[in-house]
Structure 1
Amino acid sequence: MKIREGLPEDSAQFLELMKQLDQETEFMLLEPGERTSTPQDMENHIKNLVKSNSLLLLLDDGKQAAGFLSALRGSANRTKHSAYVVTGIRKEYRGKGYGQALFKELDSWAANNGITRLELTVMTHNKRALHLYEKMGFKKEGTLIRSMIVNGAYVDQFCMAKIL
């Protein structure tokens, strides 16, 4: 398994990964079938990440993208020191240490790019992700009450951050 930076030519593979994650878990933002992006849209998204000095890491098993971690850097002068993190790993690769490996790569990237604050949100009932984030040094900063509706029910999210 290899962790590498995502490139515009990975757009079709990355889009397929995101659609698979939409199907496999209720913890991603979009519901199954809601993602309307095309490979060209995804290519533009990856190009914009690169242009903004943000990060896209892909977990590559040699055949497909098995997971990802993105860190969208703040664009204003007042927020360039921070990045918002999103991550997802295919079901068959979870629980094998790949999440920790992605976050270690994130820490290295942050240290080399002047990032001193990493932020994310997580549904309060996503115990597995919450455990990983806390293990990697993230702390709860607050709760977003009824911030999402999943399967017809309101869901709260924790705001978490890691100060580097």
Structure 2
Amino acid sequence: MKIDNQEFHIKGTFYTIRPAVQSDAQSLSEIRLQIDGETQNLDREKGEAFIDEQGFEKLIEADNINDKNLFLVAVVDDKIVGFSRCEGNRLKRFSHKVEFGVGVLQEYWGYSIGKNLLKESLAWCDMNGLRKVTLTVLESNKKAIALYEKFGFKTEGILGNDKVFADGTFRSTVVMGRFK
């Protein structure tokens, strides 16, 4: 079961969170590339692991069929400004959990879009009997860590010097999980 569209009004901005559909593929390809260039908080440098329109079409199709996956988009004035994804695993020993990831265009930070994508994803997980949600976050991203903790996530480990940045510096990754 997927979610119904949810509408939000934050700081004078109206947006909708809804499941991704095939016609979102081109926009998702473009904004993922843009988001990767706007922040160092994600796993990729801009242009790395690029997913084109056809790649997103296949991903959306697979997620809509797989009851362990959820792909959401946040839309302002018919423009996708953020997305999140829960990806499950078909292996029985991992069937109780999903991995969560999120991205929001920098222009739309501060409107609780990431928070509401997380909230809707967690509600979906709870409704579908998925007991554990995992994610990774840079240790330096204190704001995101605080948000995840508000939603019941706990630090499960720290991967020291896990990522190397273009300037040659290393950063640690926090592995977090929420178990219900």
Q: TM-score range by the shorter chain?
A: over 0.9
Question: What do the CA deviations read for 1:30-49 (whole angstroms, capped 9, x no partner)?
Answer: 11122432100111112222
Question: Equivalents in 1 of 2:16, 2:48: separation in Å?
Answer: 29
- Counterpart amino acid of 1:155? R
Q: 2:48 aligns with which of 22, 34, 38?
A: 34
Question: What do the CA deviations read for 1:127-161 (whole angstroms, capped 9, x no partner)?
Answer: 22112111221110100112211122111100000
Q: Does 1:44 align with 2:61?
A: no
Which SS does the other structure have where 1:78 is aligned? helix
Answer whether contact 2:33 2:50 (CA < 8 A) is retained.
Answer: no
Q: CA RMSD in A?
A: 1.3
TM-score by length of 1: 0.94
Spell out the pairing of 1:1-164 with structure 2 (5 A cutoff). 1-53=15-67, 54-151=69-166, 152-164=168-180
Question: Equivalents in 1 of 2:143, 2:107: separation in Å?
Answer: 14
Q: Number of matched residues?
A: 164
Question: Equivalents in 1 of 2:21, 2:95: separation in Å?
Answer: 22
TM-superposed CA distance for 1:58, in Å, is 0.5
- Structure 2 residues without counterparts, runs of 5 or longer: 1-14
- Structure 1 residues without counterparts, runs of 5 or longer: none
TM-superposed CA distance for 1:70, in Å, is 0.5
Percent of pairs with identical residues: 30
Which SS does the other structure have where 2:162 is aligned? strand
Which SS does the other structure have where 2:135 is aligned? strand
4+ long deviations beyond 6 Å: none
